[in-house]
Amino acid sequence: MKIALIGDVHANLPALEAVLSHAKKQEVDEIWNVGDFVGYGAFPDEVVKRIKKEKILSIIGNYDDKVLQVKKKQEEWGKGKHPLKWFAFKWAYDQLSKESRDYLRGLPVERRMEVKGKKILLVHGSPESIKEHLTTDTPDRRLRDLHKTARADVIICGHSHRPFAREVEGAFFINPGSVGRSDDGDARASYAVLDIKQNSFQVQHFRIEYNIEKAIDGLKLHKLPEEFARMVSQGRSLDAVMGSGRSGGKKTLRDRQAKLRDVLRLAKSCSYEVDHTLHVTMLALNLFDELKPLLPGGQTGHTLGPEERFLLQCGSLLHDIGWVRGRTKHHKTSFRMIMKEKLPFSDKEKLIIALIARYHRKNIPDRRQKHFSSLDQNEQKTLKSLASILRVADGLDRSHQSIVQALRARVTPKEIAIECDVSAPAEWEIGAGLKKGDLMERTFKRKLSITPKQI
């Protein structure tokens, strides 16, 4: 039995049509879809109707679920979410017919099947969470734990937009990648074919050329934000295209990708804790974006943008590498290791990255400190802003359990109020975030508050 595996179409009808045409030529018996029909693309209703018409076995994705909550959450999300993300949710909801909304609401979050003696589970994120990203970097120990939860031989997932097939202790995890919005720099559509036989099965991934111009023309026709078109043309997430800025174009993006590869190579050589590091980095960038109304130009005098955001990303990825030589003063060890390493940054950029890592715990920047005092006044302000963000983000993963899933920040003249989506009791995380918020309070001259919101 041959099954085409698709997911994360994200309202990109031209990509979906190309994948369906290619899958037909592979003579597949069925098509299974792991969700996220809509989001950012120009054809949400058309995609839902096409998948329904083709009788494709489907589950709901996290983006689909959020779009269906727009009416209930519009006041909260209108104030708390990034304007482009909120716009994308609302626009997709408004374009969906009642019939399509009802169809999405009726979809399950998972499906279980048995084919040729193999127990198969379809989920959007992971067997434990619709929002968990599984990738080639997910540790084997995490996949083993998920296998126990799944009670299945084959787990098919999406959400991360990264195609892979991995085997852990007899369990197979398969992600077909994203049909409509790749996230790995390859703008082509991605899907997979699973060929199940009596005693074995094979997985083949495909990257399919499609009419990207038609997808972009649809976005332009509806006067959707330019960033959405760049997501399609670059094969990148919204956060990535916003981070790359409007200047520099593809060369800037390629340069940053090359630098990130070297940063991650250093982190891996130090046996860094992947889950914690990537989660803290995600929270730090999330907080940076949420503080944008405060960061550029305002009372603090900063002009932080894509370049500074990228330095924060690099410093966050390297903040704990000093652990390879022991816990004691590992933040200072991280600083020394970064400074000694040959990295593709200017001397000043490398110093700022190293100082971001150095100040993620313990003492805060002080002009009496040699390396900090070597920066000029504007660079010192930038460093304190970025280090303060990483300190809070690191505190919010104090238990290393990724309990804080996402955050929003509301800035007033007297307060930075952070609300965290948490998956479990988070007293330890909230307490650590507040304790390490000392630098943020001094830098931005506002009181910090952090409140959890159970999800």
Alpha helices per DSSP H over 157-225: 212-221
CA–CA distance, 259 with 275 (Å, rounded to integer): 21
Q: What pLDDT is stored for residue 327 in this prediction?
A: 87
Q: What pLDDT is stored for residue 199 in this prediction?
A: 76
Structure tokens, 144: 């083993």
Q: What pLDDT is stored for residue 253 in this prediction?
A: 67
Three-state secondary structure readout of 357-412: HHCCCCCCCCCCCHHHHCCCHHHHHHHHHHHHHHHHHHHCCCCCCCCEEEEEEEEC
Q: What pLDDT is stored for residue 184 in this prediction?
A: 85
Backbone angles phi, psi at 243, to 5 degrees: -70, -30
Q: What pLDDT is stored for residue 250 in this prediction?
A: 54
If DSSP codes are grouped into helix, strand and coil, which group holds residue 195?
strand
- In this structure, whether the domain defined by 2-208 belongs to CATH 3.60.21.10 is answered with yes
Q: Please report which helix (H) or strand (E) contains residue 252, including its range.
A: helix 249-269
- Give, as one character, the DSSP assignment of residue 96: S
CA–CA distance, 31 with 232 (Å, rounded to integer): 24
CA–CA distance, 175 with 416 (Å, rounded to integer): 39
Domain boundaries, the chain: 2-208, 245-454
Give the homologous superfamily in CATH for domain 245-454.
Answer: Hypothetical protein af1432 (1.10.3210.10)
Backbone angles phi, psi at 247, to 5 degrees: -105, 155
Q: What pLDDT is stored for residue 300 in this prediction?
A: 39
Q: What pLDDT is stored for residue 365 in this prediction?
A: 92
Quote the pTM value: 0.57
Q: What pLDDT is stored for residue 79 in this prediction?
A: 67
- Give, as one character, the DSSP assignment of residue 16: H
Q: Please report which helix (H) or strand (E) contains residue 91, including its range.
A: helix 83-95
Q: What pLDDT is stored for residue 305 in this prediction?
A: 80
The number of C-alpha atoms within 13 Å of 66 and in the hemisphere containing its C-beta is 24
Contact 174, 154 (CB under 8 A): yes
> What b-and-e string marks burial along 270-298, b requiring 16 or more CB atoms within 10 Å of the CB?
bebbbbbbbbbbbbbbbbbbbbbebbeee
- The per-residue pLDDT string of the chain (455 residues; one tens digit each, 9 = 90 and over) reads 999 999 999 999 999 999 999 999 999 999 999 999 999 999 999 999 999 999 999 999 999 999 999 989 887 887 677 778 888 999 999 999 999 999 999 999 999 999 988 899 999 999 999 999 999 888 999 999 999 989 999 999 999 999 999 999 889 999 999 999 998 888 999 999 999 887 778 999 999 999 999 999 999 998 888 889 999 998 988 888 876 544 445 556 678 888 988 999 999 999 989 889 989 999 998 899 888 767 644 443 345 788 899 999 999 999 999 999 998 999 999 999 999 999 999 999 999 999 999 999 999 998 888 999 999 888 899 999 999 999 999 999 999 999 998 899 998 989 999 999 999 999 999 999 999 999 999 999 999 999 999 97
| Cβ contacts of 161 within 8 Å, gap of 6 or more | 8, 177, 178, 181, 182, 183, 184, 190, 237
